[in-house]
């Protein structure tokens, strides 16, 4: 119970900070299922994206996080409190992270994944190509998938800046959950993983394009999954 109170307190503090420092809005938070296994799949423009996704979430989300962050004293405390799962983005597959992710979903938890495998290379594209690991997890467990678009955060915290700037506008959009049917066979067909990966990528990309007046960029849409 104390942990739940602390979680609520942290969310309030973060909400006050983001409301004061930035013009932030969160849309579609009602699309986050309040119970049952769910994967929150989002683009990843900045380091504080996990905080943005928690601001209006009715439940705690366990994120896959870069393993090197667990070596930083203060950050590691928060990562462990939120039950973050360490993963090395340069190694595939990650059997340890994969096993723990399955455990979260099979216990009815919420799992946060950034399918790009790292921060969006915004100097090249609006949304990077997706890895299909989240789709495999969803199809193996029957977890629903909530696509999320984080818009404008990249202007608040540009990719190669050490710290974020104050002021700016950030919008977080939670889309309706995609209901995924659990695979009837032991291994998930690759075609099904690709289909779900493309679907989620398309939803997030569409939201990002609409936020910028419907203008695409040369070379975008050529994802490699």
Question: What pLDDT, in 10s, does the model give residues 156-184?
Answer: 776 676 777 777 889 999 999 999 988 76
Query: Three-state SS for 145?
Result: strand
Proportion of the chain above pLDDT 70, given as a percent: 87
Q: Classify residue 151 as exposed, middle or buried by CB count within 10 Å of its CB (0-12, 13-18, 19+).
A: buried
* Full 3-state SS string of 43-94: CCCCCCHHHHHHCCCCCCEEEEEEHHHHHCHHHHHHHHHCCCEEECCCCCCC
What gap in Å lies between CA 138 and CA 193, rounded to an integer?
9
Only one residue has tokens 């696509």, namely 147
Banded pLDDT at 5 (limits 50, 70, 90): confident
pLDDT computed for residue 224 by the predictor: 45
pLDDT computed for residue 184 by the predictor: 62
Banded pLDDT at 216 (limits 50, 70, 90): low
**Bridge partners, residue 178, by sequence:** 145
- Per the model's pLDDT, the better-predicted residue between 185 and 192 turns out to be 192
Containing H/E element for 8?
A: helix 2-21
Is a pLDDT exceeding 60 seen at residue 222? no
pLDDT computed for residue 146 by the predictor: 98
- Per the model's pLDDT, the better-predicted residue between 110 and 220 turns out to be 110
pLDDT computed for residue 218 by the predictor: 46
Is a pLDDT exceeding 90 seen at residue 221? no
Give residue-wise pLDDT tens across range 10-27: 888 888 888 887 888 999
**Adjacency order of strands within the sheet including 144-151:** 23-27, 169-174, 144-151, 38-42, 110-113, 61-66, 85-87
Domain residue limits, the chain? 25-213
Q: Are 85 and 64 in contact (CB under 8 A)?
A: yes
Is a pLDDT exceeding 90 seen at residue 80? no
Is a pLDDT exceeding 80 seen at residue 29? yes
pLDDT computed for residue 185 by the predictor: 63
pTM over 0.85: yes
Q: What angle do CA 122, 126, 132 make, to 5 degrees?
A: 100
Of 14, 22, 45, 54, nearest to 165 by C-alpha is 22
Query: Three-state SS for 151?
Result: strand
């Amino acid at each position: 119970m104390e942990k739940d109170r602390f979680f609520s307190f942290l969310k309030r503090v973060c909400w006050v900070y983001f409301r004061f420092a930035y013009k932030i809005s969160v849309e579609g938070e009602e699309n986050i299922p309040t119970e049952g296994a769910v994967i929150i799949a989002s683009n990843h423009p900045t380091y504080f994206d996990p905080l943005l996704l928690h601001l209006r979430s009715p439940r705690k989300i366990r994120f896959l996080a870069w393993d090197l962050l667990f070596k930083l004293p203060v950050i590691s405390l928060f990562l462990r409190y939120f039950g973050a799962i360490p993963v090395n983005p340069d190694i595939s597959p990650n059997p340890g992270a994969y096993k723990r992710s399955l455990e979260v979903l099979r216990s009815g938890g919420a799992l946060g994944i950034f399918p790009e495998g790292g921060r969006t290379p915004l100097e090249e594209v609006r949304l990077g190509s997706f890895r299909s690991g989240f789709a495999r997890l969803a199809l193996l467990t029957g977890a629903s998938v909530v696509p999320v678009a984080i818009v404008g955060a990249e202007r608040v915290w540009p990719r190669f800046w050490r710290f974020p700037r104050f002021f700016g506008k950030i919008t977080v959009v939670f889309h309706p959950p995609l209901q995924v049917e659990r695979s009837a066979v032991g291994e998930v067909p690759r075609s099904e993983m690709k289909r779900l990966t493309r679907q989620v990528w398309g939803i997030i990309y569409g939201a990002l394009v609409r936020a910028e007046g419907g203008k695409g960029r040369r070379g975008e849409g050529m994802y490699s999954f």
